Structure 1
Amino acid sequence: MAAPLLVDRLPDRVVATLNRPEKRNAIDQDTIDALHALCAELEADPRTLILTGAGGVFASGADIAQLRDRRAAHARQGINAMAFIRINELPMPVIAAIDGYALGGGAELAFAADLRIGTPALKVGNPETGLGIMAAAGATWRLREIVGEARASELLLTGRILDADEALAWGVVSSVHPADELMGAAHAMADRIAANDPLATRHTKLALRASRADHPAIELELQAELFESPEKDRRMTEFLERRNRG
């Protein structure tokens, strides 16, 4: 049986491809287990993560055959929610490169990324209430942070699916690219991240993920650490030398 997650490891990034194309990359327990294993790797060796899907689909949702058999105890375990929280809290940025469907749990996985880009075929939304459940792996709070309360309420309470133009206009994705250029755009974004100081990038992500009550104290402490960093001195010295050379 093919692995549910294909992982391509590069020095400064990892590309993880959801790989159940026969199921439109529905997220099952094996996929969740593979995502946890990948998170453990990236927690120990931080690199940018690019998440995408095989076969022209990001992820059509959670695996309905498994969901149908789950009961209250399973819901309280937060099987998908805990994995997506772990992805969101990875030290370095996570980029979701979304082609085709990102529905239900697939949308919630995309919402857990720091950066999202798509293709014209993108379809994103949370139709869970039509299946007698709710979006409980992050959409009820992450989507509100991404698009605002009114739009999040519309999507989650009606189950409406956004196309690429709407997703771009609403800020669900930051850019749309032809399908054959999607991964190139994701790698270009990762290249820009890689050109920056990794510690400054990690600290910026920490500050972005902090609650409002933690500001401004958190960035003052993180900045204090960066002000003592040899990399800060090196990069600023190089900048001044380039400017002086004119």
Structure 2
Amino acid sequence: MSWLRRPVRLRHVLLVYGLTLLAWAGALAAGARYVLAHQTALLSLRDVPAVLSLPRDLHARAQALVPLQTRIDWAPTVAVPVHQTVRVQLPTALHAQARIESSVPIDTFIDFAGDIPVSLDLEIDVPVRRWLPTARVKLPVSLRVPVKLRVPLQTDVPLALDSRVTAALDAPLDVPVHTTLQARVPIHADVQGWAVNQTDFTLHTPIDALALGVARADLRVPLNALAVSATRR
């Protein structure tokens, strides 16, 4: 650590001071350059006399703005296509006249069990003697015959129905709608615009000095465009 005990020479101190001043001067110059390049100054002019001179063959363009006001009262017809699904809820019951013409197929068996009464006259030839002719006797017979059977039945029964039907729908219906609506759109509005007229002209006679007076003007001027000089009164 012997180098810490060495004496500081004057030229080293002056060198450090010089480098520090140079760095500060560079920073100040860069800051001033940035301010001059990016900042503007606001100049307010009040009652300032001025002189305007225009040279010969000066090309200029004049522009005039004329306000226009009108009113539109129009109701055009517009075709509006509609393609959507509309949900419809029917609050009451539906009444309709239903006609049904069809046939009902029947394929079954008919079981029958019972007694069938039978009444008849039975004629019998009864021999009496060999040598005599037979005698015909008529006997009335009444009896009940027990019957038990299964009869297959296969047929088509025609059905014709014409009646009034009432139905209620609890769930909403989704009805697709595909149509084009002819709508009239009324337009009532005040329209305001500007008519722009531009004219190019050339000055043939020079104007040497035209006295003007600036009553009031607020100007924003970049700082790098200003030139400041001191004047004596």
**TM-score calculated relative to the size of structure 1:** 0.12
Instruction: Compare CA radii of gyration and give the structure with the larger one.
Output: 2
Relative contact order higher in (CA < 8 Å, ≥ 6 apart) = 2
